[in-house]
Structure 1
Amino acid sequence: MLSPLDKKLFRDIWRVKGQAIAIMLVIASGVTLMVMMDGMVNSLTDTRDTYYERYRLAEVFAPVKRAPAHMVDRVADLDGVLVAEGRINAAGQINLPGIDVPVRMQAVSLPEHRQPGLNAVYLSAGRHLQANQRDEVLLLESFAREHELAPGDRMTVTMNGARHQFHIVGLAQSPEFLYTTPPGELVPDEARFAVVWMNQKALAAVFDLDGAVNEILLRTSRDVSETGIITELDRLLSPYGGLGAYSLDDHLSNRFIVDEINSLRVSSRTVPPVFLGVAAFLLYIVISRMVQVEREQIGLLKAFGYSSVEIGGHYFKFVVLIAAGGALLGCLMGVWLGHSLSGFYQLYYKFPFLVFSVDPSAFVIGFVSSVAAASAASLLVLRRAFNLPAAEAMRPPAPPDYSASLQIPKPVSTWLDQPSRMMLRSVLRQPARAMLATLGIAAGMSLSVAMLSVMSAFDRTISLSFDVIDRSDVTVTFIEPLGSSATFSLQSLDGVFKVEPFRAVSVLMRNGVHDYRGSITALSENPALYRAVDVSMQAIDLPTEGIVLSRSLAEQLAILPGQWLTIEIREGRRPVIEVPVVSIADTLLGSPAFMSIETLNRLLKEPGRLSGAYLSIDQQQSQRLYRQLKDMPAVAGVTLREESRSAIREVMDTGAGAMRFIMTAIAAVISFGVVYNTARISFAERARDLASLRVLGLSRSETGFVLLGELALIALLALPVGCLLGYFLTSLIAEAFSTDLYRIPMAFVPASYGLAMLGVVVAAVVSGILLQRDIHRLDLVSALKIRE
């Protein structure tokens, strides 16, 4: 049996159902983001760890030029090594019919008579390799899907300068290749990079590595230092051309998946609290004004004998029911959106399985924070009403003293008609209420500004990277560094306008306790096709001595211009050099480091060597040029700038970057909810006043103008405030979205601010239309019965 107060509770909620739904949507928006992003972080982390463990991903990788197979046993005897396994890992090209651009390939060996002890593969179609079959391969499933290849098909590959025919017997996935990126590139492209697995003897025969390996994989015990094992590995493999062992933390695929998870984790800790904070502020405004409207009902309930505690419990349940409904809706929406995105992540990161799971604490935090914010807002207002005696609370509040309030200047007043003066006077006489309403709308609008600006910044990142920084058409990389004559060979090809050589070397950079495994890109003097640029996007002149670091790399190394950086070269003679940091470049993709090619070659004592070249070409002759490059045995790969642009756009539109679309939609919902709630509360507060104006002879249009004009004025005042708040919020959210792969620049994009302002205007117009209908339905008889 419901008590009278509970019956009143449900009647009140039904009476303000429009406002209740709007408030619930505001709360649900913040909780949705929190639950969804927490679920994605947990799902990716748990799936990655399970996948790595189930398929025994190595924890240390030790590439080497050529090491005898017995070295694997010596490595296995090192203290702390649980499993050691040798393999062959080599590069090649796949020749596909109808594709002129060389397609890069990585060939990985598998033991012939057993499953690999480390880095096992997941067979998604077909069968495993048969022992002693030299023409069978497993092909990476994502590449096969892009080119419509299947078990039973044959393909031609070029390895070690010779062409070979292979039979595809199965499609596979591997935790080692969650993020498939061509060597020397940052952006994954499933269509331009393939992985094939072959029997070890077959691959050894192709690269003349019988009885030898060129990579050793390790798993270590948990109580041993990986750094110590890596140091010992480098010592053991140095006579055989060791290229520098590294841990799983520095493995390219793992680094990107970890970076994706960290980006989501940072976003989940930064963005949802901002949305919930805005929602809490809006709830305070809305609920405080709603309770103030109920002042006379509170007095009436007291007169009937209800205590302040009972009345407080009634209004507290009113607020909690709305807040709990919004939080529950947010939890359900978060689970639904997160579950939908989990399938997308499974395809994008090539997981054979992915189970969406949410930490229960995310539900608790979202629910408690929403209810607590709503409850705090209501208690602050109810405390003032409860202190009133019943008789006083039942009377309308004493007319406020407006003698000290702002007045309309007389020159302005003479130009305004009566409804306009009434509207403007209402704003000037209650500036605190107008200011809170303005801040509420501005806060909602700031979310839209921030998300639209971040979306524009993603496009700006791509534009600056491929139109200002990289202005080449084609990037050619060689199998190994060549002499300067390679530049002239490329320049002599038909359709090549300009050639700019570069040298790329694998390095380990150290600054005190900070280190970074990456590469140095050495460019020619005054490059035009690929440049290091400063914060104003002006080219940086590469120094004859020293190095230029990207801003993200300098931050990771905690180093400033003028300080010295220790660099361990990971190829050739592997010298250790120290160079000064002379400048910081504002690259937006990756974490590159730049030097002069002459300086780097001098330090390496390898004059005139280059790893590749940037080309400017005649697009009319591009297909013939690609075929010529494809037939050059020294060419390891060809990268087209437009393909790289498309690939990075796909990366930014997926993964953590895809979250910005959902956040933009949620920001729009909040923005509309704020405007609509502001309008509804204003109408609830002034319904009797508006009815009185109708009784006094004002028309419906004039009466509506008094209220809607005030709403329009507040909305207009909120526009510049929302732009200002949005500018600072953009900086916070852009930093949360930035990763090691790309950085989101902070920039003022007028179109983003214009769209956000347009959204507020549209929300105000729609709210005004809905309110005008209620104004037409005002009960004039009730207004005449009011006792002042």
Structure 2
Amino acid sequence: MSPLTKKLGRDLWRIKGQAIAIALVIAVGVLMQVMQTGLVASLDETRRAYYERYRLAEIFAPVARTPERLAADLRRIPGVSAVETRIVGHALLDMPGIDLPLQAQAVSLPDFREPRLNNVYLTDGRMFEGDRPDEVVILESFAKAHGLKPGDSLNVTMNGARRTFGIVGFAMSPEFLYSTAPGELVPDDDRFAVLWMSRTALEAAFDMDGAFNEALISLSRGTEPAEVISAADRLLDRFGGLGAYGLEDLQSDKFIAEEIDGLRRTTATVPPVFMAVAAFLLYIVISRMMQAEREEIGLMKAFGYTDWEVGAHYLQLILAIAVSGALFGGLMGIAAGRALVDVYLLYYKFPFLVFRLAPSSFVIGIGASVLAASAGGLFVLRGVFALTPAVAMRAAAPADYSKSLKFDGTLSGFLDQPTRMVLRRLTRQPVRMGGAIVGIAAGVALSAAMAAILASFDEMMELTFDVIDRSDVTVSFIHPIEARSLHDIETMTGVIEVEPVRIVPAILKNGRHTHRGAISGLVELPRPNRAVDADTRAIRLRQDGIILSASLARRLDIAPGDWLTVDVREGRRPEVRLPVIAVAESLMGSPAYMELLALNRALKEPLRVSGAYLRIDTAHAGEIYRALKHMPMVAGVAPKGDSRAAFQEITDRGAGATRYIMALVAGIITFGVIYNAARVAQAERARDLAGLRVLGFTRGEIAFVLLGELAVVTLLALPLGALGGYGLTFAISAGFSTDLYQLPASFGFSTFGQAMVVVVAAAVLSGWVVKRDIDRSDLVLALKTRE
């Protein structure tokens, strides 16, 4: 073992605390890189394989009712490789012991063959027999939520008729990776089921003999979907076509694509921040070590070591820290990725999901971290080449402190000696102290931003379910009905208020920007469910235009005063142009609002409603749910409490759960920065502090001289960190926002206070560790010249 290798081992042991702190920062960056890149690769590859294996359609073409013969015309469209027709309808389930009617979607499969498109993955039991119309296969997640098993029976209401089916199997489908009830955004396994039945059974249930109401289309390689969609719409238009759409507009695929894109965005932005912090820390540690070891560097060169050998020695020190942190982070990233895979299997209904480590992510994570950490050290190593043995072994020229702060007169009498020493060092080395302040401010900013993000999730829940939606129950109908039919609900015992609503599916267009969604028709002054502005004030709905949510307005690149084209996809399916009169705040989905009478007038269908918001006496909830269950016009009932619980579960898993990981990471980085600042200051002043002890200073005074500097630097970093955290909050909240929910950027005194607690705790812990080492230090050894 060469002398330089022995010195490298001693140096690493001497700065082991700093080395571990820096390595942890690097490890966190690599962990995020490997974990998230692996999750992206796993989700993307599993989704592709699942879609391909079970032949998920690329175009969905819903229609009111069209004869089966039209399937041949669809197959003749250029670029179409396969067509499968089917029947899809709404159903209500009556589960024993549950008052609430549960929503279901009934989907037909061919009687005696596998479907050409949208096949299902059977997880338990068997498929139904084609000649047994009373057999059904149900969605596995619903079956598990209710403890069902093959052989159980199921009471179902379809098209107003109540029937009993025997469950013969459980299944999963790529079409329902993210399974939500029609009209809802939040998946809830307890309240939504999918029923796969024979084509013959559903033809009888929905009076569709010899007809279908949805066509599934797959495309030949290289075919442009827009052209096929236009051709399909032209064929189906006269039969009540509701507008064909591509796979990207399928709700299930839309949300998993958003999840994957969110992970990609985080992977591209978060790890580089950690790498930069690590490079900054290494730069500080190595630069100050070089300054402290001027004589050692000169001595090594005097003994014949070349500039390259001495430079390589310090570069090895940097690489030892960087590589060890990167390797540890890579291994932890694999472990974290494998753990999160189980979470995603609950969040999305994949039949399998194996964490797939992308080798490139491991190489990129380790390579980028090592390069980033080494970059800071390389700037310092230039000084090694510039030092000649004679210059290096001579003490550095004393600094000019003639213009620094002087303590004369009253100020000198007011401040004691240790305090003057702290302030004198701060004013004599402003650049070095400025670097420490910036480093700690970066940790403050990250901690403050993550505290704000945690608070923003709570604010989003409160604003959505307490301020915007003040109803207790949402009732939806199978199809638009006359408003006077709500009288049956209004007269129920326990119903306090009923507010009508009409939800109209539509394609919103502004030039080349389009959005497939719906328009919510509300009364002029809605109470249970409102449109609110940025100050959470209720918006009065006028009859002269449409109000868009802020997220939808951004997506369509439209502002109040502009005109919006609305292609209605139900009823007469008119295309109308409406002025945008306001922008509303909404943190769930991307709604658009119109005054109910104005919406019905535009559709030329007066006095129609498709649902209602209810406020009820919870003491009569069971009675109300039972009455709604037996109303043939009711398609679904959604208690707000259940929706809130399901939404809370979503935000605590998947992409939302990463906020906890990032909050932990922010704490690690903050501690690493402050701890390194304290350790560097201790290393630089070890001989000076030992000299003060010899001169008669107590341990407490010595600790005050060192830790007082850390305290002042930390206090100065707090306001700078608050400003950085304010800006960082907006960037992180944008990364967390998806089509399902938009996270408000909420930065207040409470969040900054939480960040201050983290920073102060890190400073106190770092100070305690440093003070303990000062108390244990050997004065003779500290005063010796290290050679």
Normalized against structure 1, the TM-score is what? 0.97
Deviations 1:113-134 (A, max 9, x none): 1111110000111111112011
Counterpart check, 1:92 vs 2:91 = yes
Distance in 1 (CA, whole Å) between partners of 2:406 and 2:566 is 71
Distance in 2 (CA, whole Å) between partners of 1:276 and 1:467 is 41
The CA RMSD measured in Å over matched residues stands at 1.6
Match of 2:71 in 1: 72
Which deviates the most, 469-478 or 5-14? 5-14
Query: Counterpart amino acid of 1:656?
Result: A
Which deviates the most, 720-729 or 399-408? 399-408
Match of 2:374 in 1: 375
Query: Counterpart amino acid of 2:726?
Result: Y
Q: Is the 8 A contact 1:143 1:193 kept in 2?
A: yes
Which deviates the most, 704-713 or 189-198? 704-713
Offset of residue 259 of structure 1: 1.2
- Alignment partner of 1:478: what SS? strand
Match of 2:465 in 1: 466
Deviations 1:587-615 (A, max 9, x none): 11101111111111001100000011111
Match of 2:595 in 1: 596
Q: Is the 8 A contact 1:285 1:440 kept in 2?
A: no
Match of 2:520 in 1: 521
Q: Is the 8 A contact 2:109 2:115 kept in 1?
A: yes
Distance in 1 (CA, whole Å) between partners of 2:418 and 2:476 is 74
Query: Counterpart amino acid of 1:210?
Result: D
Match of 2:330 in 1: 331
Which deviates the most, 44-53 or 554-563? 554-563
Query: Counterpart amino acid of 1:150?
Result: K
Deviations 1:59-104 (A, max 9, x none): 1111112211222122112221111111111111010111111100
- Alignment partner of 2:285: what SS? helix
Match of 1:746 in 2: 745
Cα 1:89/1:416, change in 2 over 3 Å: same
Match of 1:251 in 2: 250
Query: Counterpart amino acid of 1:747?
Result: S
Distance in 1 (CA, whole Å) between partners of 2:697 and 2:95 is 80
Match of 2:624 in 1: 625
What are the within-5 Å matches in structure 2 for residues 156-235 of structure 1?
156-235=155-234
Distance in 2 (CA, whole Å) between partners of 1:289 and 1:391 is 20
Match of 1:661 in 2: 660
What are the within-5 Å matches in structure 2 for residues 642-721 of structure 1?
642-721=641-720
- Alignment partner of 1:262: what SS? helix
Match of 1:493 in 2: 492
- Alignment partner of 1:300: what SS? helix
Query: Counterpart amino acid of 1:418?
Result: Q
Distance in 2 (CA, whole Å) between partners of 1:786 and 1:269 is 47
Provide the identity percentage.
56
Q: Size of the alignment, in residue pairs?
A: 786
- Alignment partner of 2:685: what SS? helix
Distance in 2 (CA, whole Å) between partners of 1:534 and 1:279 is 43
Match of 2:772 in 1: 773
Q: Is the 8 A contact 1:33 1:663 kept in 2?
A: no
Offset of residue 783 of structure 1: 5.3
Offset of residue 270 of structure 1: 2.2
Deviations 1:327-348 (A, max 9, x none): 1112111121112111221232
What are the within-5 Å matches in structure 2 for residues 35-114 of structure 1?
35-114=34-113
Query: Counterpart amino acid of 1:365?
Result: I
Normalized against structure 2, the TM-score is what? 0.98
Match of 1:144 in 2: 143
What are the within-5 Å matches in structure 2 for residues 201-350 of structure 1?
201-350=200-349
Query: Counterpart amino acid of 2:499?
Result: E
Query: Counterpart amino acid of 1:9?
Result: L
Match of 1:122 in 2: 121
Match of 1:557 in 2: 556
Match of 2:431 in 1: 432
Which deviates the most, 373-382 or 100-109? 373-382
Offset of residue 408 of structure 1: 4.5
Query: Counterpart amino acid of 1:437?
Result: A
Deviations 1:4-26 (A, max 9, x none): 21221122112221111111001
Distance in 2 (CA, whole Å) between partners of 1:622 and 1:414 is 76
Which deviates the most, 276-285 or 720-729? 276-285
Cα 1:410/1:372, change in 2 over 3 Å: farther
Deviations 1:121-160 (A, max 9, x none): 0011111111201111111000111111111111111111
Which deviates the most, 722-731 or 396-405? 396-405
Distance in 1 (CA, whole Å) between partners of 2:363 and 2:782 is 46
Counterpart check, 1:616 vs 2:615 = yes
Distance in 2 (CA, whole Å) between partners of 1:471 and 1:623 is 20
Offset of residue 390 of structure 1: 1.4
Match of 1:9 in 2: 8
- Alignment partner of 1:166: what SS? strand
Query: Counterpart amino acid of 2:314?
Result: Y
Deviations 1:10-59 (A, max 9, x none): 22112221111111001111121122111111111111111000000011
Query: Counterpart amino acid of 2:341?
Result: S
Deviations 1:509-560 (A, max 9, x none): 1111111111000100111111111111111222211111111111111112
Query: Counterpart amino acid of 1:516?
Result: H
Distance in 2 (CA, whole Å) between partners of 1:409 and 1:760 is 34
Which deviates the most, 488-497 or 575-584? 488-497
Offset of residue 692 of structure 1: 0.3
Offset of residue 385 of structure 1: 4.2
Q: Is the 8 A contact 2:528 2:615 kept in 1?
A: yes
Match of 1:506 in 2: 505
Q: Is the 8 A contact 1:687 1:778 kept in 2?
A: no
Query: Counterpart amino acid of 2:452?
Result: S
Which deviates the most, 11-20 or 112-121? 11-20
Offset of residue 379 of structure 1: 2.3
Distance in 2 (CA, whole Å) between partners of 1:71 and 1:538 is 51
Query: Counterpart amino acid of 2:284?
Result: I
Offset of residue 652 of structure 1: 1.1
Distance in 2 (CA, whole Å) between partners of 1:620 and 1:590 is 31
Query: Counterpart amino acid of 1:626?
Result: Y
Deviations 1:700-742 (A, max 9, x none): 1211211111112212222222222111111111111111111
What are the within-5 Å matches in structure 2 for residues 377-416 of structure 1?
377-408=376-407, 410-416=409-415
Q: Is the 8 A contact 1:456 1:749 kept in 2?
A: no
Offset of residue 694 of structure 1: 0.6
**Alignment gaps of 5+ in structure 1:** none
Deviations 1:370-396 (A, max 9, x none): 222222222222323432331332243
Query: Counterpart amino acid of 1:555?
Result: R
- Alignment partner of 1:124: what SS? strand
Q: Is the 8 A contact 1:270 1:733 kept in 2?
A: no
Cα 1:396/1:438, change in 2 over 3 Å: same
Distance in 2 (CA, whole Å) between partners of 1:245 and 1:384 is 67
Which deviates the most, 65-74 or 114-123? 65-74
Match of 1:448 in 2: 447
Query: Counterpart amino acid of 2:442?
Result: A
Q: Is the 8 A contact 1:385 1:393 kept in 2?
A: no
Query: Counterpart amino acid of 2:102?
Result: V
Offset of residue 295 of structure 1: 2.1
Q: Is the 8 A contact 2:311 2:384 kept in 1?
A: no
Q: Is the 8 A contact 2:276 2:373 kept in 1?
A: no
- Alignment partner of 2:777: what SS? coil
